[in-house]
Structures are given as structure tokens and as C-alpha cells.
């Protein structure tokens, strides 16, 4: 009877340690893959090359140099700095474009910068205009 209790407690101890190890690995993997810097355009241009490999940029779509290719779903545009519209960075994105994307829209792009200081976006998000937020506030 004594041997069965020892085997059972050893089994539960090992199972608990395996569970704890698995949870620890999942937490570590989740946190290390989501390390993305959030920068504005001027900060990204001034940052070291290692820092701009995986970043999120916030800015406004400039009026000039907006080019859409509907056949390839490629979009190129200039992203203006929030504080100084003279500071811009060229952005390339391939994929579906949100309906709210237009000149003057505030956007967040996620991706990385190449050696020519050209931003290659994997994700493109537009900031919701405040008029939608005010209209929907009373309806919730």
C-alpha cells in the first residue's frame, strides 16, 4: 500500500512540473514574440537599424505620392509625422486596405524598415474617426 501512495504522489508531482513548465514556456513565447516598438515617424527615422526591424508607426497619410494598384493590392504612400508634417517616411503595403483609409487619415502600420529608410508594412490599421465614437456612445 505504501508503494502505491509514493508512486501516485510522484506521478502527480511530475505532472504538475510538466504543466508548470508548459505554461512558463507559453508565457515566455508570447511575450518575446510581441515585443514591438511603437514609434512616430521622426523617432523611427532617428532609431538604430536593430530597433526598427519590428515596429509600429503612427502618423497621417500625406496628400502626395499615394499610389494604389488594384490588380496587385499594392499601396504606397508617405506617412507624415504627427508633430511635424515635413518629416515623412515612404510606406509600402500589400493587402486589403481599410475603408477609412484616405489622405489625411491617421494610421498605424506594423512592419519593419529596410536599409533605404523605406517602411515595409505587414499590417495597416486606420484610426476610427471620432464622429463614429460619439454617434455610437448613446446606443450601447
Residue 113: which residues within 8 A CB-CB, separation 6 or more? 44, 49, 52, 53, 55, 89, 119, 120
Q: Please indicate whether residue 98 or residue 51 has the higher confidence score (pLDDT).
A: 98
Residue 110, in any domain of the structure? yes
Residues 73 and 108 in one domain: yes
By residue range, what is the domain housing residue 5? 1-35
Residues 26 and 79 in one domain: no
Which CATH number do you get for residue 52?
2.40.50.140
**Highest mean pLDDT range out of 36-40, 64-68, 77-81, 125-129?**
77-81
The domain tally of the chain equals 2
Residue 139, in any domain of the structure? no
pLDDT digits (tens, 9 = 90+) for 63-89: 988 898 878 889 999 999 988 889 999
pLDDT digits (tens, 9 = 90+) for 79-115: 999 888 899 999 999 988 888 899 999 999 999 888 8
Residues 87 and 24 in one domain: no
Residues 30 and 49 in one domain: no
Residues 58 and 30 in one domain: no
Residues 45 and 26 in one domain: no
Residue 140, in any domain of the structure? no
- Reference 62, options 121, 110, 103; nearest CA is 103
Amino acid at each position: 500500500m505504501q508503494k502505491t501512495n509514493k508512486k501516485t504522489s510522484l506521478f502527480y508531482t511530475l505532472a504538475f512540473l510538466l504543466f508548470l513548465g508548459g505554461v512558463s514556456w507559453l508565457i515566455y513565447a508570447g511575450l518575446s514574440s510581441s515585443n514591438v516598438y511603437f514609434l512616430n515617424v521622426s523617432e523611427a527615422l532617428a532609431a538604430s537599424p536593430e530597433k526598427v526591424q519590428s515596429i509600429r508607426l503612427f502618423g497621417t497619410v500625406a496628400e502626395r505620392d499615394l499610389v494604389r494598384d488594384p490588380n496587385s493590392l499594392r499601396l504606397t504612400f508617405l506617412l507624415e509625422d504627427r508633430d511635424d508634417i515635413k518629416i515623412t517616411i515612404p510606406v509600402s503595403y500589400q493587402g486589403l486596405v481599410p475603408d477609412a483609409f484616405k489622405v489625411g487619415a491617421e494610421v498605424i502600420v506594423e512592419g519593419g524598415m529596410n536599409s533605404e529608410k523605406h517602411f515595409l508594412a505587414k499590417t495597416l490599421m486606420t484610426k476610427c474617426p471620432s464622429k463614429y465614437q460619439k454617434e455610437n456612445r448613446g446606443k450601447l
